[in-house]
Amino acid sequence: MKPELLEIKPHDAISAFLKWNTGDSYRIAYFEMRFQCPCAVCVDEHSGERIISRKSISPDIRVTSIRPIGRYALAIHFSDHHTTGIFDFDLLFKISVEQGIPLLETPNEI
């Protein structure tokens, strides 16, 4: 089954809650989402090497807005004014599984 994002919302001040059609839910740190940005500012278009370093990202980075791109991706804007990343659901699911914390239930509204 191809992963489809069913829900994304703030989990707490430093992370997001993501719920998938696979039945899985994860908490992902905004810091990790910012580091994993796939845009050409963050990843060399020719070599595929990551240009941005973890040290260059503030540990208190926040998501300032999320906009859907069709039914396959999200444009995520961050508090460091980075706005060029388009995160497709496959990438977000990969980040969820590899870097996220599995959750058993939906967090309360904050």
The DSSP result for 63-103, as a single string, is EEEEEEETTTEEEEEETTS----EEEHHHHHHHHHHHSEEE
- From the CB of residue 22, how many other CB atoms can be counted at a distance below 10 Å? 14
What integer pLDDT is reported at residue 59 of this predicted model? Answer: 95
Per-residue pLDDT averaged across 64-90, rounded? 96
Position 109 pLDDT exceeds 60? no
What integer pLDDT is reported at residue 110 of this predicted model? Answer: 46
For residue 59 the two structure tokens come to 């540990």
What integer pLDDT is reported at residue 108 of this predicted model? Answer: 60
Cα–Cα nearest to 16, from 95, 91, 70, 81: 95
Summarize pLDDT for 6-60 with one digit per residue, the tens.
999 999 999 999 999 999 999 999 999 999 999 999 999 999 999 999 999 999 9
Per-residue pLDDT averaged across 67-83, rounded? 96
pTM: 0.90
* CATH number of the structural domain 5-103: 3.30.2020.30
Under the banding of pLDDT at 50, 70 and 90, the label for residue 106 is: low
